[in-house]
Amino acid sequence: MRLKTALVALLAAASALVSAGSAVAEPTTKDPVPVTGVWCDGDTYKCRAALGFRDGRWAADWGVEVLPT
């Protein structure tokens, strides 16, 4: 139970940092596609990035599965 609580707290903190960073992040010339926003859900461990590609209606989704070892 402690591990789960610690993991949830860690992911929530990481999600907050990603969300805060995306608000002030500016595209660079190194980005293959400009990222216009990033959102993460600490409950489902899934994230989405809005991409400034072509018509601007593209997004990248990813997540992680959390398992005990």
pLDDT in tens, 53-62: 889 899 999 9
Of 4, 6, 15, 3, the residue nearest 62 (C-alpha):
15
| pTM metric for this prediction | 0.51
For residue 32, what pLDDT is reported?
A: 83
Q: Is residue 36 part of a domain?
A: yes
Residue 24 has pLDDT above 90, yes or no: no
| pLDDT value for 62 | 95
How many structural domains are present in the chain? 1
Please work out, in degrees rounded to the nearest 5, the angle formed at the alpha carbon of residue 59 by the alpha carbons of 33 and 11: 100
* Domain annotation covers residue 18: yes
Confidence band for 63, pLDDT divided at 50, 70 and 90:
very high
Element (H, E) at 11: helix 2-24
Provide the residue range defining the domain that includes 36. Answer: 2-63
Q: Is residue 69 part of a domain?
A: no
